[in-house]
Amino acid sequence: MSFEPRIVGILCNWCSYTGADLAGTSRMKYAPNVRVVRVMCSGRMDPTLVLKAFQEGADGVLLAGCHIGDCHYISGNLKTLRRIPLLKRVLVELGIEPERLRLEWVSASEGARYQGVVNEFVEQIRSLGPLDLEARRLPATASAS
């Protein structure tokens, strides 16, 4: 059975969401695997959200915000720029491949870029395989034999 990655995309309202929208309205073809969550700014992309996505069954998480310098709240994306590398380091220790989390800067006019990022990311996750936390989690509390 072929594996269709489930990806949660968390997009900033001002640039990336609009960019994604543009890709859609321009009828660019891209993989349908990303379920989008819109937040007001990448600065609101709390690591807890990312963990929650993985916990609830996402195989990958795509974060996208305005290019550095373009954040509508001035430094929201700078926070993200500092936070996500740290989150990746923690994910490695928790046994989740850091490649399952991707941070990209996509402006409102970059529909094609969004298309490229999504397609590439879906393929990357496809090659990593399902995260399948439930199955991979060790037999947590196997009762006494």
Partner 1 sequence: MANAKLKVGMYWAASCGGCDVALLDIHEKILDVVAVADLVFWPCAMDFKVHHVEAMPDKHIDVCFISGAVRNSENEHMVKLLRRKSKVLCAFGSCAHIGGIPGLANFWDRQSIFQTVYHASPSTENPKGTVPVERFKVAEGELTLPHLYDTVKTLGQTIDVDYFLPGCPPNPDQIAAVIGVIAAGKAPAKGSVVGASERAMCEECPRKKTELKFKSFKRRHLTHPDPEVCFMEQGIVCVGAATRSGCGWRCIGSNMPCRGCYGPLPSVHDQGAKMLSAIAACIDADTPDDVERILDTMPDPAGTFYRFGLPASMLRRRQRGQDGREAR
Q: Which does 24 bind (CB under 5 to 8 A by kind): ligand FES, partner 1, none?
A: none
Question: What type of residue is 31?
Answer: A
Q: To the nearest whole angstrom, how small is the minimum distance from the Cβ of residue 40 to ligand FES?
A: 7
How many residues belong to the site for ligand FES (CB under 6 A)?
13
Asked if residue 12 binds ligand FES (CB under 6 A), the reply is: yes
Largest CA distance in the chain: 60
Residue 79 interaction partner, one of ligand FES, partner 1, none, beta carbon < 5-8 Å per kind:
partner 1
When CB distances are held under 5 to 8 angstroms depending on the partner's kind, the choice from ligand FES, partner 1, none that residue 77 binds is: ligand FES
Binding residues vs partner 1 (CB under 8 A)? 46-48, 50-52, 54-55, 68, 78-79, 81-83, 85-87, 89-90, 92-97, 129-133, 135-145
| Residues 19/107, Cβ–Cβ less than 8 Å | yes
Residue 82's binding partner out of ligand FES, partner 1, none, with CB under 5 to 8 Å set by partner kind = partner 1
Q: 59: phi > 0 → left, psi -120 to 50 → alpha, else beta; which?
A: alpha
Cβ 113 vs Cβ 19: under 8 Å: yes
Would you list the DSSP string of 83-113?
HHHHHHHHHHHTT--GGGEEEEE--TT-HHH
